[in-house]
A = this chain, B = another copy of it.
Amino acid sequence: MLIMILLGKRSYQFNELHRSIESISQRMLTRTLRGLERDGLVSRTVHPTVPPTVEYDLTPLGRTFLGPLSALADWAVVHGPDIAAAREHHDAR
């Protein structure tokens, strides 16, 4: 989700993404990007420069997913605290 949301704003390079999402390991970032690419949601463009740069973008299909995604993200922003509260209340008993 974070990757998709970032790419929804602009293109990113690999390490740029990695820096923007510190909590993800390199391995998982690669795997996730490959999965998204495989599913046709993200495009991966290699620029044959030295050193090489790789540009990640949302595909048109990927962009259609931004709607449902922000519906989810907005919900999380509003109701996330409620869930945290429910959990604590549950733990307490």
Chain A interface, DSSP helix/strand/loop, else mixed: helix
Residues of chain B lying within 8 A (CB to CB) of residue A82:
40, 61
Segment among A13-21, A22-30, A67-75 that sits at the interface with chain B? A67-75
Would A86 and B72 count as touching, CB distance under 8 A? Answer: no
Partner-B contacts on A (CB < 8 A): 37-41, 61, 64-65, 67-68, 71-72, 74-75, 79, 82-83, 85-87, 89-90
18 CB contacts below 8 A, A to B, read A37-B90, A38-B87, A38-B90, A39-B86, A39-B87, A40-B83, A40-B86, A40-B87, A40-B89, A40-B90, A61-B82, A61-B83, A65-B75, A68-B74, A68-B75, A71-B71, A71-B72, A72-B72
